[in-house]
Amino acid sequence: MVDIKTEKRGTETILSLKGELCREAVEAITDNALHAVEKASKKVILDMTGVTKIDTTGSGLISAMRRQAEDAEIAFEISNCPPEVAKILDRFLWLTSVKPPKRTLGDWFVGKGEWLLSLKNEIVVFLQLVADTTIWSIGGERRTQRVRHGAVWEEATRIGLDALGIIGLLTFLIGAVVALQTASLLKLFGADILVADMIGISMVRELSPLMTAIIMAGRSGASIAAEIATMSINEEVAGIRTMGLEPIKYIVVPKFRAITLTIPGLTVCSICAGIFGGFLIAILYMGLSPSAFFFELMKSIFVKDVLVTLLKSVVFAWLIVWIAAYEGFSAYGGSEAVGRVTTSSVVKSIFSCIVADALFSIIFYF
């Protein structure tokens, strides 16, 4: 058993413990001990003269008492601790203060400076990746032009052809929904024919390239990031360097060439699928004739719009593969890093594509 006595001496509260601080005894006095600390004014002195034995449960009680005193900004002191008990307490870190130190203005500037230096290093590494990928994909020395035999077409099939179905289906549904939502409003003004202009302009200029990029970021970008991250964690990238090969040329360049070749075609297919979805709504729901729809559609679409859209799609593709490769190479740790860098790759790719699309809109507007 443990006896606990409370004594007030001015602004100090003295808690005297006597007996064995073991599990059964601690359970009986925990509430009283914590309540006594809570009622203290400025300082608590824990007198352990009479404590003959202590275990981990008793150490936990003393730790809880100290934390409660610190939270209430009350000074806490242990006195007259027997040597045998002190040895037990010294083995545990529970008595170490967990209250974080106060941060000064200098600490804030130091933290921001470290963050800026880290950001600068990340930007430099990313730009090096962009430069190496571009040089080895387009030009360079003769020995740098070689990649894995057939890798580009294999990646083009996996990245481009396999994504055709999901991109076509989603953009078809988007085109149909856009036409359906605008149909009732256009009918009020007797401007049913303008649904063709609405579908053509929205799909060609904005929706098709952006939706294609978002789908590719979530599908192909995540796949690229997960693949490279797994290779980095399993030290396959280090093995490639050991064999005298450059990982960027061996891993990234085929994917870069493949997505550059396939995404313009995917964008064109998504435009056709979106327009076809709007066409069905215009014919079946609004009662327009096919000839009138396509005649009005041709008047709203210009060659410049198509060329700008293809340019945007290529830029989106580059952003996706660069960000995915950067995140994959930066992976470290265990298997949880694969999920972390994959999520980061998808989020950053989609955000970058939307920002790039906004910049394109501003540039070509003016």
Distance CA 283, CA 291 (A): 10
Instruction: Domain count for the chain, please give it.
Output: 2
Q: State the pLDDT confidence band at 217, using cuts at 50, 70 and 90.
A: very high
74 and 146 co-located in one domain: no
129 and 80 co-located in one domain: no
189 and 321 co-located in one domain: yes
270 and 127 co-located in one domain: yes
Domain that holds residue 35: 2-90
Looking at the domain assignment, is residue 106 inside a domain? no
Give per-residue pLDDT as tens, 282-292.
Answer: 888 888 888 88
Strand pairing category for 2-9 and 12-21: antiparallel
Residue 144 has pLDDT above 50, yes or no: no
Q: Is 101 helix (H, G, I), strand (E, B) or coil?
A: coil
* Structure confidence at residue 182 (pLDDT): 85
Last residue of a domain, one of 69, 90, 111: 90
210 and 258 co-located in one domain: yes
Looking at the domain assignment, is residue 112 inside a domain? no
Could you tell me the CATH number of the domain that includes residue 56? 3.30.750.24
Looking at the domain assignment, is residue 107 inside a domain? no
Is the full-model pTM beyond 0.85?
no
Looking at the domain assignment, is residue 10 inside a domain? yes
212 and 132 co-located in one domain: yes
Edge to edge, the sheet with strand 43-54 lists 2-9, 12-21, 43-54, 75-79
Looking at the domain assignment, is residue 104 inside a domain? no
Last residue of a domain, one of 90, 115, 143: 90
Mean pLDDT, rounded, for 83-88: 75
Looking at the domain assignment, is residue 118 inside a domain? no
Last residue of a domain, one of 45, 66, 90: 90
* Structure confidence at residue 96 (pLDDT): 46
Give per-residue pLDDT as tens, 29-50.
Answer: 777 777 777 777 778 887 777 7
Looking at the domain assignment, is residue 260 inside a domain? yes
* Structure confidence at residue 97 (pLDDT): 45
6 and 144 co-located in one domain: no
Residue 349 has pLDDT above 90, yes or no: yes
130 and 187 co-located in one domain: yes
250 and 145 co-located in one domain: yes
Q: What is the mean pLDDT of the chain?
A: 83
* Structure confidence at residue 147 (pLDDT): 57
Q: State the pLDDT confidence band at 326, using cuts at 50, 70 and 90.
A: very high
Distance CA 107, CA 225 (A): 35
Give per-residue pLDDT as tens, 96-121.
Answer: 444 556 677 777 788 888 888 888 98
Looking at the domain assignment, is residue 95 inside a domain? no
188 and 279 co-located in one domain: yes
23 and 156 co-located in one domain: no
Q: Is 316 within 8 Å of 353 (Cβ atoms)?
A: yes
Q: Is 94 within 8 Å of 62 (Cβ atoms)?
A: yes
Q: At 9, which helix (H) or strand (E)?
A: strand 2-9
192 and 69 co-located in one domain: no
* Structure confidence at residue 310 (pLDDT): 93
Strand partners of residue 2: 19
